[in-house]
Each structure stands twice: as structure tokens, then as C-alpha cells.
Structure 1
Amino acid sequence: MSHTESAYGLWSLVIINSLVFILFAFSFTRPKTRRDWRSFGMFSAFLVALFTEMYGFPLTIYLLMSWLARNFPGIDFLSHDAGHLLETLMGWKVNPHWGPFHIFSNLLIAGGFWLLAAAWRVLYEAQGTGQLAVDGPYARIRHPQYVGFVLIMFGFLLQWPTLITLVMFPILLLVYIKLAKREEQEMLARFGDAYRTYRERTQAFLPWSARRSPSPTGAPPNSGKQP
């Protein structure tokens, strides 16, 4: 294995990519409350950690270098392409940007941002009229914004797994679940039966397992606010 130039130490790309994706997500979520900022801050920290290893300092590769060099001889793990570890470890002889993991990750990331955008439009209109958001993504799941964040993070994990983000991901999942439960208690205290009915007919995170039943009035409740 020969190595001529490191693909890392590109801190300008770390900053640019972090800002682009964080600001893009911010434009769809518009955090207002302390809880909103907390969830958005954790998502932002995940992206910064990701891009730091993707373009700045490849901590995961350095820590695993001995094992990687022993089991995958002839691969320059300080090249950018080899940093797509899942594609490299599977041994697929294609450009990793066109490999199955990378393509699937792009679909997840795009789907996550689409979900954030679609949920924000519905939520913004509902907040403006003081109604419960039950249209669009909210008609299928109660917490589409959290699901959007998770899809984006999981997509990046498939694209560029690192030890730090692998540790962060399950922690963020637990935190988002905890935040979602806290939001629901607030909604129940504020809107009572309207939100209780909505919660009973709409699944929290997985739309395909939602238990849907007709509303007594033939339509979903339409008062209050969905976080």
C-alpha cells in the first residue's frame, strides 16, 4: 500500500458541510422552545462529529488502522474513498459513492429532509391558527420531525460510520423518545381529549404499524397544537 496525500485535514470542508446541513435543517425546523433547541443541538453535534471525521481528523480509522491493515491489505485507508468503511469492508469493487450503502444512505438523508420540510409546513399552519396538526406527515405519525432527524443521522451512519457517531446514535434515539413522551404529556395536559383521541389513532414513529380507527365525527380532532 502506498499513500501520497492524505484526504483529511480539510477543516474548511468540515465547517462548510456542517453549516450547510445544519442551516438546511434549521430552515425546516425553526426551533423555538428550549426543548426544540435541545433536540436540534444534539442533531447538530452529530453532524459536526461526522464531518470532523469525514474531512478533518479520521479518529476511527486511526484507532482501527492496525486491524484494518492486517485484514484488508493493499487498501489505503487514509484515502477518502476507503473512509466509506461499509463499502470497503464489504469488498465491493465499485466507487463507494455509487455503492449500495451510499445510494441507500442518500435516499434516507433526502427522505429525512423531505419529512422535516413537510412536517414544518403543516405545523406552521396549525400553530398560526391554534389548531392540532393532523395533516400531512402528522396524519401518519405523531413525531415526524424526530423521525426526520433519525433518518438523516442513520443515513450518514451508513455513508460514513465512525466510533463517535455510532455511540451517539442510540443515545440520541433514547433522548428523542424521552422528549417525545414529555411533549405528549404537555399536549394531554393542554388539550385533553382532543390530543388523546389523536394519540390513540396515530402511531408515534412507525406509520405502517399505526392502529387507525374512524373518529366519532368522521374526521380527526382539529384543535390545539402538535409539537
Structure 2
Amino acid sequence: MPGPRLVSILGTALEIAGSSMIAGAWLSARDVYLIAPGRLLTDGVYGRVRHPMYLGWALLYLGGALTFRNGWALAVSPVAMSIVHHEVLREESALVRRFGTTYEKYQDRVPRYGLWVRPRV
């Protein structure tokens, strides 16, 4: 089992990664009305991950749970992430309806949550 210092370092690294991902997503989307976007974001961080804000929040959440050694936060994280994943699927359906084949091609090209998870299911 890793020591407390290593857990804190890992937590901090996840917090930094998550914050960076959120900042990159926010900068890319700053001029787009996300509730009803007029254009599809496919550049910047959105060129590498389809849902960088959700991924960033998940990394930040997990990092905080590790940094502060909060077992409850770690214990409920699978449930929270499952709820967020269902929201992601709902959003993707709406984006397919709004942007059609343009979004489907984007789904084929860019992974949902990162390099380790490939597109549509």
C-alpha cells in the first residue's frame, strides 16, 4: 500500500491535471453558448477529448479525495461518475441530433474521455 506522501503527491497531480483540463475546456468554449451551441468545438482540448470539462472535474474530484484522504469521497466516486456518464450519453444524443454526421465523425475521431477509451458504445 502506498504511503501517505505518495498518495498526496498523486492526489495533487490529479488535481493539477483536472484543473488544467477544465481551464483548457473553458478557454476553448468561452465564446460558445454550451446549452445550445451554434458550432461544434473540435479544436484545442476538444480535439483530444470529447468531454474535457467532465473529465477535468472527475480528475479534480479524485485528486481532492486522495489529497485529503477522504474515504467517503472515494467510495461514492463510482456512483457520481456513473451519473455523470449518463448525462454525457444524453448530451451526445442531443449533439448527434443537432450536428448529425459532423458529430458522428467527431465521435469516431476523438475519444469520449481520453486516449484509453475509444469512441461510441
Q: Which runs of 5+ in 2 are unaligned?
A: none
- Between 1 and 2, higher relative CO (CA 8 Å, sep ≥ 6) is seen in 2
Q: 1:115 aligns with which of 18, 21, 28?
A: 21
> 1: CA distance between counterparts of 2:70 and 2:8?
15
> 2: CA distance between counterparts of 1:108 and 1:166?
13
> What is the Cα deviation at residue 175 of structure 1?
0.7
Q: Which amino acid aligns with 2:68?
A: W
Q: Which amino acid aligns with 2:52?
A: P
> 2: CA distance between counterparts of 1:171 and 1:123?
27
> 2: CA distance between counterparts of 1:131 and 1:188?
13
Aligned to 1:172: 80
Indicate whether 1:191 and 2:109 are aligned.
Answer: no
Q: Which runs of 5+ in 1 are unaligned?
A: 1-88, 212-227
Aligned to 1:143: 51
Indicate whether 1:102 and 2:102 are aligned.
Answer: no
> What is the Cα deviation at residue 201 of structure 1?
0.9
> What is the Cα deviation at residue 164 of structure 1?
2.4
Q: Which amino acid aligns with 1:112?
A: G
* Kept in 2: contact 1:119–1:144 (CA 8 A): yes
> What is the Cα deviation at residue 197 of structure 1?
0.8
Distance 1:178 1:131, change over 3 A: same
> What is the Cα deviation at residue 160 of structure 1?
2.4
> 2: CA distance between counterparts of 1:126 and 1:199?
19
- Determine helix, strand or coil for the equivalent of 1:207: coil
Aligned length: 117
* Kept in 1: contact 2:50–2:113 (CA 8 A): yes
Normalised to the residue count of structure 1, the TM-score between the two structures is 0.47
Normalised to the residue count of structure 2, the TM-score between the two structures is 0.84
* Kept in 2: contact 1:187–1:195 (CA 8 A): yes
